Structure 1
């Protein structure tokens, strides 16, 4: 099936173009994350009044909640250019040095998945963030010398899905740290309403609510589901209109059930419930049972199943809850579940 979640796979350029068109361009247009929006607005207003670059910003939280969009908004509202990079692309101190030395005064540098930078680059970034300076080593061994290089003042916006992997010295150099939370259904309905208008799709409130309910609290998933519903309406419906029946038919075709679970989610639950009698079962064993990488199960599938109360993580492994049995329609016996370890 078409994967409608967030995994590390190449994305079609047309999909990226559509996602870009749906992004809000200002904090006023940004839906949800009300507290973070207010904090960012204060930060940017203060920097504007003092005619200086904004403090460095760290955005953490699960994928798809708007970290990249907020970085773009910071640059737009600061009226500064934006430079995009990512942690995996910065694997040597020289990569970072070349990037930093090319920045113009006040430019906003966005580094996605900043926790995946090389350690040598992280150490160079400490000095750059604090003093807008880097030291470049020339030569090797006893004859090596350090040449200081002044940098143009800039604002670093770092994004991470795993803030615990960031070293404390790097985290402490950010002037503002924000954690983005999952969205409530009514907030996702507003996201879908705005996106549907931009895509030219007529959609009643009940249809928007149904997509929101299956979007796992994530705007990116909501927008992707909306695009699949639009495609279904174009092929099987009235073209530019999608009611609740169209939404149900489209999402059923893509194996997205009433709670937003897809084929892989249900495969994991089914393995824990039926093959391992509710658990506990280790991650490696579960990975083999469903034929999927353990990293994908741990980072993509488990967080949502744990959040909705279908799966528990214990010292002995993963266990299914009574709610998971109920969702699969399987009778359960509490005696086989490892609830004492939860």
Structure 2
């Protein structure tokens, strides 16, 4: 019996972690912290659709990971009082995959496609007609005897999310009635996120502790909630109040420094500053040196380092800015390249 309990424990932990993630998501636009302009625009869009008793226009949400795109899609469905269907671009690799998904939608249903820019090209082309006319053409047969059969779809609302809006083809992007770009959060907004999450998790966290977590969260609510849970774990194991010293000790243990840089961020900066003497250096070379995939460096690490002024992107490659040298405690070389030199 003991063996069975031990074997089932990881699964129980996974379910608990998923439950926590879901519980921390705001359920309405009023509960959603930050992104004030986008929230106001969405509120108007959804209210107009509700008054006119029609599905909302298709919505495209772009921005870095962890800023709330999936949460906003769930809120759109909730406030529209419509069911939500979840999918992702990598899962739609054939036109038939998309046809099966679209044909099963109920009237007014909200379809959320995460990483919509990663759909197969054939599926994208089918989606054009579906978004515009709520119809798709099914090809039956092959070669000269192939026949196109039109299939009408129930009216639906597509909510697409992407971290790389520039990769979306123009015909697809133009079919979204509303496009919003989510920005990184300010520290004060992240403090509100941490305060709300701490209350929901039953954690007594003073204002100074909330500010410390917010300051190290890279402008991203998902990271703020994750760090809050790690701080909670540290407190459970080591005991004591969640004061600034405890919060700092917990985050230091998880390699999150005072401005939110983690191990990978520092590995990239160390390679750029020490190995390549400030650059310029190509993305692939930098990724190999840091031991990570180029896509991860480009989509996860670079946006934050560029935003805080530690890295520059130039036609010749990535360069380290003076602030990066100062943070690493490395003297800035007199001959280091600057934007003006490139």
- Residue of 119, 128, 132 corresponding to 1:130: 132
- Residue of 11, 15, 18 corresponding to 2:17: 15
CA contact (8 A) 1:201 1:230 kept: yes
Give the Cα–Cα distance (whole angstroms) in 2 for the partners of residues 93 and 284 of structure 1. Answer: 32
CA contact (8 A) 2:28 2:75 kept: yes
- Residue of 211, 215, 235 corresponding to 1:209: 211
Q: Deviation per CA, 1:191-212: give whole Å up to 9, x if none.
A: 0000000011001111101111
Specify the alignment match of 1:7 in structure 2: none
Give the Å deviation of 1:295. Answer: 2.1
Specify the alignment match of 1:166 in structure 2: 168
TM (norm. structure 2) is 0.93
Give the Cα–Cα distance (whole angstroms) in 1 for the partners of residues 17 and 77 of structure 2. Answer: 23
Specify the alignment match of 1:177 in structure 2: 179
Specify the alignment match of 1:6 in structure 2: none
Give the Å deviation of 1:12. Answer: 5.0
Aligned-residue RMSD, C-alpha: 1.4
Q: Does 1:324 align with 2:324?
A: yes
Give the Å deviation of 1:301. Answer: 1.3
Q: Deviation per CA, 1:114-144: give whole Å up to 9, x if none.
A: 0001111111111111111111110011111
SS of the residue corresponding to residue 207 of structure 1 reads helix
Give the Cα–Cα distance (whole angstroms) in 2 for the partners of residues 42 and 200 of structure 1. Answer: 34
Q: Deviation per CA, 1:290-317: give whole Å up to 9, x if none.
A: 2222222222211111111111122222
CA contact (8 A) 1:280 1:338 kept: no
Q: Identify unmatched segments of 5+ residues in structure 1.
A: 1-10
Give the Cα–Cα distance (whole angstroms) in 2 for the partners of residues 270 and 74 of structure 1. Answer: 42
Q: Deviation per CA, 1:143-182: give whole Å up to 9, x if none.
A: 1111111111111111111111111111111111111111
Specify the alignment match of 1:303 in structure 2: 303
Report the count of equivalent residues. 330
Give the Cα–Cα distance (whole angstroms) in 2 for the partners of residues 170 and 285 of structure 1. Answer: 33
CA contact (8 A) 1:139 1:145 kept: yes
Q: Identify unmatched segments of 5+ residues in structure 2.
A: 1-12
- Residue of 66, 70, 75 corresponding to 1:73: 75
Specify the alignment match of 1:146 in structure 2: 148
CA contact (8 A) 1:312 1:321 kept: yes
Give the Å deviation of 1:24. Answer: 0.4
CA contact (8 A) 1:108 1:154 kept: yes
SS of the residue corresponding to residue 334 of structure 1 reads coil
Specify the alignment match of 2:238 in structure 1: 236
Give the Cα–Cα distance (whole angstroms) in 2 for the partners of residues 313 and 113 of structure 1. Answer: 24
Give the Å deviation of 1:233. Answer: 0.8
Give the Cα–Cα distance (whole angstroms) in 1 for the partners of residues 317 and 179 of structure 2. Answer: 33
Give the Å deviation of 1:15. Answer: 3.1
Give the Cα–Cα distance (whole angstroms) in 2 for the partners of residues 31 and 126 of structure 1. Answer: 33
TM (norm. structure 1) is 0.93
Specify the alignment match of 2:245 in structure 1: 245
